Amino acid sequence: MQAMPGYDTIIKGLHRGPNAGSPKEDPVEQLADFAAHTKLSDIPEDVIEHAKRILMDTVGVILGGSTAPEATALARRFGQPDKGPSTIIGHGLRSCVLNAALTNGTSATWLDFDSGHRPPPGKPLLPAAHPPAHLVPATIAAAEALKSSGRQVLEAMVLGYDVGARIGLASRLRPAIHCHGTYHNISAAVAVSKLKGYNAEQMKQTIALAAHLTMMPSFENAYQGGTVRNVYAGAGASLGILASHLAACGFTPEIDAVGSVFGVVASPWLDPGRITEAIGKRYEITQGFIKAYPMCRFGHPAIEAAEGLLHKFDFDIKDIAEVVIDTFDWAATLNDRSPKKDLAAKFSIPWAVASMLVRKSAGAFEFSDEGLCDETVRSISAKITVREDPSYSSMTPAKRPARITLRTKSGQTIVNEVQGSSGGPDAPLSDETIQAKFKSLADPLIGAQRTATAIQTVDQLEELADICTFTELLMPDNSISK
């Protein structure tokens, strides 16, 4: 009988990557030990402060996304006004831990405004990861049920983020797979297990079981604008919680589940050495980015190049003859000139750049269904060409350049170039900018007073005895969804 394709790779262990250690150096065991034994007092203050930024930013985008008709329908299907331990954020509703995490995680990605993590090193460039959209919904939902303190939530967030992100950095997802619902599920599982006080062996089982619950959703769906894409993170959050439950119930994974899933199935390659590199010294939650614009981050350099053009030159929108965006390979795929759906617009550089040129903004409104009705933006978007500059592609992932060349009917040619975009460790958003983003998303739903109190509560989260004091602020003033 002929062996199935890939049989030798799996059986002979060739998936282990170039730096495989001996069983005594099991990286997953090291991750589990680190997650189980590290306390908040062991974590540097700057890391804790950044975890607060990630929490506030993610809760903000959940609030903003919760108003989408589909997200509202999901909340009403799963939630009730007074039943369940966990809050469905943005609605006067509660639910079980699993369904709250699913609903809030879905809202978290609706605007494509959620923060993310750096992609794994190497070529070709891969999309950035998005741990917080999985991590925060799972952590908050479980913490409410457990009556966890603010300190426990911060501890769980930092450690959960670290474990999942390290596995992501050590692997390379197949390009056709959307990264939501993959190794981020492990981040959610570890955070929830940390809240429950799991020991190192239980944590190791949880990590392995979460690896088995990895999704492999299609990236193409994002380009087409199918809204099921927005459920990937919510499903991943609930799968992380499920993995923690399974470990407590005695379910068992295969030996080397992480190596199998992230070295063969979802990713063809895994480097165990990267999993534990500088563990306890470099916290991955500080290595990510907070989005300044609600679209795929590959498009952000083009937006900032267009914004710079506005500041440097005077021109009449009606005089634009054509616009060319030169950028790196992955960004060049975001080339839809006439997106029909809001999600497709979030993966369209022409639409984003046209919005910046016409409206001098590329915010949540510009990518909404209402924003898509702007015929002036649509006419300029039709004049924008996006193409790859191989020299720019060669600079990734260290740099992500973009150049805009605008030609007018009157014969003017103006150019602006950027080497990357803001929001990451090399060009972080200010606390004032992050708070302003939160206010813009939260104020319309929970009111200015609750928004201000929520910001203050996150700032002093270590002093909070029960996380429910925070989540009570995240419901509309009238409490019950209508």
Q: What is the pLDDT of residues 398-414, one digit of tens each?
A: 899 999 999 999 999 99
What are the tens digits of pLDDT across the range 215-263? Answer: 999 988 888 888 999 999 999 999 999 999 999 999 999 999 999 999 9
Q: Residue 19's pLDDT is what?
A: 44
pLDDT (average), residues 412-429: 96
What sign has the CA pseudo-torsion 184, 187, 189, 195?
A: negative
The answer to whether 140 touches 153, Cβ cutoff 8 Å, is yes
Q: Residue 5's pLDDT is what?
A: 41
Over pLDDT 70: what percentage of the chain? 94
Q: Residue 126's pLDDT is what?
A: 82
Q: Residue 296's pLDDT is what?
A: 93
* pTM of the complete model: 0.92
What are the tens digits of pLDDT across the range 106-158? Answer: 999 999 999 999 888 887 788 888 999 999 999 999 999 999 999 999 999 99
- pLDDT tops 80 at residue 83: yes
What are the tens digits of pLDDT across the range 101-117? Answer: 999 999 999 999 999 99
Q: Residue 52's pLDDT is what?
A: 98
CA 26/CA 13 separation, integer angstroms: 14
Q: Residue 10's pLDDT is what?
A: 39
Give 24's pLDDT tier (boundaries 50, 70, 90): low
Q: Phi and psi of 390, rounded to 5°?
A: -55, -30
What are the tens digits of pLDDT across the range 251-298? Answer: 999 999 999 999 999 999 899 999 999 999 999 999 999 999 999 999
CA 178/CA 414 separation, integer angstroms: 36
Q: Which are the contacts of 210, defined by CB distance < 8 A and separation ≥ 6? A: 185, 186, 188, 189, 190, 239, 240, 243, 244
**Cis peptide bond upstream of 397, omega within 30:** yes
- pLDDT tops 60 at residue 2: no
Average pLDDT, the chain: 93
As a three-state string, the secondary structure of 85-136 is: CEEECCCCEEECHHHHHHHHHHHHHHCCCCCEECCCCCCCCCCCECCHHHHH
Domains and CATH numbers, the chain: 7-287 (1.10.4100.10), 297-418 (3.30.1330.120)
Q: Residue 22's pLDDT is what?
A: 46
- pLDDT tops 50 at residue 312: yes
